[in-house]
Amino acid sequence: FEKAKYFEGCLPIEVMVERGRDTLRFGPMKPVGLAHPETGEVPHAVVQLRAENKEGSMYNMVGFQTKLTYPEQKRVFQTIPGMEEADFVRLGSIHRNTFICAPELLDQTLQMKKRPGLFLAGQLSGVEGYVESTAMGLLAGLYAGRLLRKKTLPVPPASTALGALVRHLTETDPGRFQPSNVNFGLFPPLAKKIRKKERGLFRAEQALSGLAAWKIRLAEQGGGSAVQ
Protein backbone atom coordinates (compact mmCIF):
# COMPACT_ATOMS: atom_id res chain seq x y z
CA PHE A 1 0.00 0.00 0.00
CA GLU A 2 1.07 3.63 -0.43
CA LYS A 3 3.28 5.21 2.19
CA ALA A 4 1.24 7.54 4.40
CA LYS A 5 2.15 11.20 3.86
CA TYR A 6 0.34 13.55 6.23
CA PHE A 7 -0.37 17.24 5.75
CA GLU A 8 1.83 18.96 8.35
CA GLY A 9 -0.85 21.53 9.13
CA CYS A 10 -3.40 18.88 10.13
CA LEU A 11 -1.61 15.88 11.65
CA PRO A 12 -3.47 13.04 13.41
CA ILE A 13 -2.85 13.19 17.16
CA GLU A 14 -1.31 9.70 17.19
CA VAL A 15 1.26 10.77 14.59
CA MET A 16 2.18 13.75 16.77
CA VAL A 17 2.55 11.45 19.79
CA GLU A 18 4.95 9.27 17.81
CA ARG A 19 7.18 12.33 17.30
CA GLY A 20 7.65 12.87 21.03
CA ARG A 21 5.81 12.78 24.36
CA ASP A 22 5.60 16.59 24.55
CA THR A 23 4.55 17.20 20.94
CA LEU A 24 0.84 17.47 21.74
CA ARG A 25 1.27 19.92 24.61
CA PHE A 26 3.28 22.17 22.32
CA GLY A 27 0.66 21.71 19.59
CA PRO A 28 -3.15 21.45 19.91
CA MET A 29 -2.92 21.01 23.69
CA LYS A 30 -0.70 24.06 24.23
CA PRO A 31 -1.99 25.93 27.34
CA VAL A 32 -0.87 29.43 26.34
CA GLY A 33 -3.25 32.14 27.60
CA LEU A 34 -5.39 29.64 29.50
CA ALA A 35 -4.37 30.21 33.11
CA HIS A 36 -6.83 29.22 35.83
CA PRO A 37 -9.13 32.26 36.38
CA GLU A 38 -8.90 32.02 40.21
CA THR A 39 -5.45 30.64 40.98
CA GLY A 40 -3.56 31.87 37.92
CA GLU A 41 -2.03 28.41 37.59
CA VAL A 42 -1.01 27.41 34.05
CA PRO A 43 -1.97 23.79 33.27
CA HIS A 44 0.48 21.26 31.88
CA ALA A 45 -1.77 20.78 28.82
CA VAL A 46 -5.35 21.54 27.82
CA VAL A 47 -8.07 20.23 25.56
CA GLN A 48 -10.01 23.06 23.98
CA LEU A 49 -13.69 22.53 23.21
CA ARG A 50 -15.50 24.61 20.58
CA ALA A 51 -19.31 24.83 20.63
CA GLU A 52 -20.91 23.33 17.54
CA ASN A 53 -24.52 24.38 18.14
CA LYS A 54 -26.23 27.45 19.56
CA GLU A 55 -27.55 25.52 22.55
CA GLY A 56 -23.99 24.72 23.67
CA SER A 57 -24.83 21.05 24.05
CA MET A 58 -22.33 19.75 21.50
CA TYR A 59 -18.62 20.53 21.33
CA ASN A 60 -15.76 19.87 18.95
CA MET A 61 -12.35 18.80 20.30
CA VAL A 62 -10.07 21.38 18.69
CA GLY A 63 -7.08 19.95 16.85
CA PHE A 64 -7.91 16.30 17.54
CA GLN A 65 -7.67 14.86 14.03
CA THR A 66 -7.30 11.09 14.30
CA LYS A 67 -7.34 7.81 12.43
CA LEU A 68 -7.92 5.73 15.54
CA THR A 69 -10.76 3.20 15.37
CA TYR A 70 -14.06 4.36 16.85
CA PRO A 71 -13.86 2.12 19.97
CA GLU A 72 -10.28 3.27 20.60
CA GLN A 73 -11.26 6.93 20.24
CA LYS A 74 -13.92 6.53 22.91
CA ARG A 75 -11.53 4.67 25.21
CA VAL A 76 -8.67 7.16 24.86
CA PHE A 77 -10.74 10.35 24.98
CA GLN A 78 -12.66 9.21 28.05
CA THR A 79 -9.38 8.99 29.96
CA ILE A 80 -9.11 12.79 29.73
CA PRO A 81 -10.12 14.40 33.07
CA GLY A 82 -13.63 15.81 32.79
CA MET A 83 -14.54 13.68 29.79
CA GLU A 84 -15.07 10.36 31.55
CA GLU A 85 -18.83 10.49 30.92
CA ALA A 86 -18.71 12.23 27.54
CA ASP A 87 -21.22 11.09 24.93
CA PHE A 88 -19.62 11.12 21.47
CA VAL A 89 -22.18 12.01 18.82
CA ARG A 90 -19.63 12.08 16.00
CA LEU A 91 -16.22 10.43 15.99
CA GLY A 92 -13.20 11.41 13.94
CA SER A 93 -12.46 10.02 10.49
CA ILE A 94 -9.39 10.55 8.37
CA HIS A 95 -9.73 11.26 4.65
CA ARG A 96 -7.36 10.80 1.77
CA ASN A 97 -6.29 13.90 -0.09
CA THR A 98 -5.47 13.01 -3.69
CA PHE A 99 -3.31 15.49 -5.59
CA ILE A 100 -1.01 15.56 -8.58
CA CYS A 101 2.67 16.53 -8.66
CA ALA A 102 1.82 20.00 -9.96
CA PRO A 103 5.39 21.24 -10.63
CA GLU A 104 5.92 18.31 -12.96
CA LEU A 105 2.54 18.36 -14.68
CA LEU A 106 1.09 21.90 -14.66
CA ASP A 107 2.20 25.08 -16.39
CA GLN A 108 1.66 28.55 -14.93
CA THR A 109 -1.83 28.77 -16.44
CA LEU A 110 -2.88 25.62 -14.52
CA GLN A 111 -3.07 23.60 -17.73
CA MET A 112 -1.58 20.15 -18.11
CA LYS A 113 1.78 20.56 -19.86
CA LYS A 114 1.21 17.54 -22.06
CA ARG A 115 -2.48 18.25 -22.68
CA PRO A 116 -3.13 21.97 -23.23
CA GLY A 117 -6.75 22.92 -22.67
CA LEU A 118 -7.12 20.63 -19.65
CA PHE A 119 -7.13 22.79 -16.50
CA LEU A 120 -6.85 21.56 -12.92
CA ALA A 121 -7.79 23.39 -9.73
CA GLY A 122 -8.79 22.77 -6.13
CA GLN A 123 -7.11 20.20 -3.88
CA LEU A 124 -6.35 18.01 -6.89
CA SER A 125 -3.96 20.68 -8.16
CA GLY A 126 -1.98 20.66 -4.92
CA VAL A 127 -3.33 23.44 -2.71
CA GLU A 128 -4.83 22.91 0.71
CA GLY A 129 -7.87 24.67 2.15
CA TYR A 130 -11.29 25.86 0.98
CA VAL A 131 -10.21 29.42 0.15
CA GLU A 132 -7.07 28.26 -1.67
CA SER A 133 -9.02 25.67 -3.68
CA THR A 134 -11.63 28.28 -4.63
CA ALA A 135 -8.89 30.74 -5.60
CA MET A 136 -7.27 28.25 -7.97
CA GLY A 137 -10.69 27.45 -9.41
CA LEU A 138 -11.19 31.17 -10.07
CA LEU A 139 -7.83 31.43 -11.83
CA ALA A 140 -8.37 28.27 -13.87
CA GLY A 141 -11.75 29.63 -15.00
CA LEU A 142 -10.20 32.94 -15.99
CA TYR A 143 -7.43 31.21 -17.92
CA ALA A 144 -9.95 28.97 -19.69
CA GLY A 145 -12.14 31.93 -20.62
CA ARG A 146 -9.18 33.83 -22.01
CA LEU A 147 -8.02 30.79 -23.96
CA LEU A 148 -11.42 30.50 -25.66
CA ARG A 149 -11.19 34.17 -26.69
CA LYS A 150 -7.60 33.71 -27.97
CA LYS A 151 -6.30 36.00 -25.23
CA THR A 152 -3.56 35.50 -22.67
CA LEU A 153 -3.76 36.07 -18.93
CA PRO A 154 -0.62 37.22 -17.12
CA VAL A 155 0.27 35.26 -14.02
CA PRO A 156 -0.60 37.22 -10.85
CA PRO A 157 2.46 38.82 -9.21
CA ALA A 158 4.34 36.55 -6.81
CA SER A 159 3.71 39.21 -4.12
CA THR A 160 -0.02 38.32 -4.15
CA ALA A 161 -1.64 35.28 -2.56
CA LEU A 162 -2.83 34.09 -5.99
CA GLY A 163 0.63 34.42 -7.46
CA ALA A 164 2.31 32.80 -4.46
CA LEU A 165 0.07 29.76 -4.77
CA VAL A 166 0.68 29.44 -8.52
CA ARG A 167 4.41 29.77 -7.85
CA HIS A 168 4.20 26.99 -5.25
CA LEU A 169 2.37 24.72 -7.71
CA THR A 170 4.70 25.31 -10.62
CA GLU A 171 8.15 26.17 -9.24
CA THR A 172 8.60 23.85 -6.23
CA ASP A 173 11.09 21.00 -6.56
CA PRO A 174 8.89 18.08 -7.77
CA GLY A 175 10.71 15.69 -5.43
CA ARG A 176 9.73 17.78 -2.41
CA PHE A 177 6.26 18.96 -3.44
CA GLN A 178 3.43 18.76 -0.89
CA PRO A 179 0.06 20.57 -0.74
CA SER A 180 0.10 23.87 1.12
CA ASN A 181 -2.20 26.51 2.51
CA VAL A 182 -1.37 30.08 1.59
CA ASN A 183 1.22 31.49 3.96
CA PHE A 184 3.94 34.14 3.89
CA GLY A 185 6.55 31.41 3.46
CA LEU A 186 5.34 30.99 -0.13
CA PHE A 187 5.97 34.66 -0.93
CA PRO A 188 9.30 35.90 -2.32
CA PRO A 189 11.85 37.01 0.30
CA LEU A 190 11.57 40.67 1.27
CA ALA A 191 14.03 42.94 -0.52
CA LYS A 192 14.68 44.96 2.64
CA LYS A 193 14.83 44.27 6.35
CA ILE A 194 11.56 45.02 8.12
CA ARG A 195 10.67 44.66 11.79
CA LYS A 196 8.77 41.45 12.49
CA LYS A 197 5.66 43.27 13.76
CA GLU A 198 5.46 45.29 10.53
CA ARG A 199 6.10 42.51 8.00
CA GLY A 200 2.51 41.30 7.79
CA LEU A 201 1.13 44.76 7.05
CA PHE A 202 3.92 45.43 4.54
CA ARG A 203 3.22 42.18 2.68
CA ALA A 204 -0.52 42.87 2.70
CA GLU A 205 -0.03 46.33 1.20
CA GLN A 206 2.44 44.92 -1.33
CA ALA A 207 -0.08 42.22 -2.31
CA LEU A 208 -2.93 44.69 -2.79
CA SER A 209 -0.70 46.95 -4.86
CA GLY A 210 0.39 44.01 -7.01
CA LEU A 211 -3.18 42.82 -7.48
CA ALA A 212 -4.30 46.30 -8.54
CA ALA A 213 -1.49 46.49 -11.12
CA TRP A 214 -2.42 43.02 -12.40
CA LYS A 215 -6.05 44.05 -12.87
CA ILE A 216 -4.95 47.13 -14.82
CA ARG A 217 -2.87 44.92 -17.13
CA LEU A 218 -5.91 42.72 -17.75
CA ALA A 219 -8.08 45.71 -18.61
CA GLU A 220 -5.43 47.05 -20.97
CA GLN A 221 -5.33 43.73 -22.80
CA GLY A 222 -9.06 43.96 -23.44
CA GLY A 223 -11.99 42.01 -22.10
CA GLY A 224 -12.27 44.11 -18.95
CA SER A 225 -11.03 43.36 -15.48
CA ALA A 226 -11.07 39.69 -14.56
CA VAL A 227 -11.35 40.21 -10.81
CA GLN A 228 -13.69 42.67 -9.10
- pLDDT digits 0-9 by tens, 11-59: 888 889 888 888 888 888 898 888 888 898 988 899 988 888 778 888 9
- Per-residue pLDDT at 76: 92
Residue type, 206: Q
User: Of 101, 124, 127, whose CA–CA distance to 183 is shortest?
Assistant: 127
Q: CA triplet 32, 34, 40: central angle to 5 degrees?
A: 115
In this prediction the pTM is: 0.67
Task: Say what the pLDDT of residue 223 is.
Answer: 55
Cα three-residue angle 182-188-194, rounded to 5 degrees = 100
Instruction: Give Cα 27 to chain centroid, integer Å.
Output: 17
In the chain the first and final C-alpha atoms are separated, in Å, by: 46
Q: Say how far apart CA 52 and CA 24 lie, in whole Å.
A: 23
Does the pLDDT at position 4 exceed 80?
no
Kindly report the average pLDDT of the chain as a whole number. 88
Kindly indicate the confidence band of residue 225, based on its pLDDT and cuts at 50, 70 and 90. very low
Where in the chain do CATH 3.50.50.60 domains reside?
A: 102-221
pLDDT at 163 over 50: yes
Domain 102-221: what homologous superfamily? Answer: FAD/NAD(P)-binding domain (3.50.50.60)
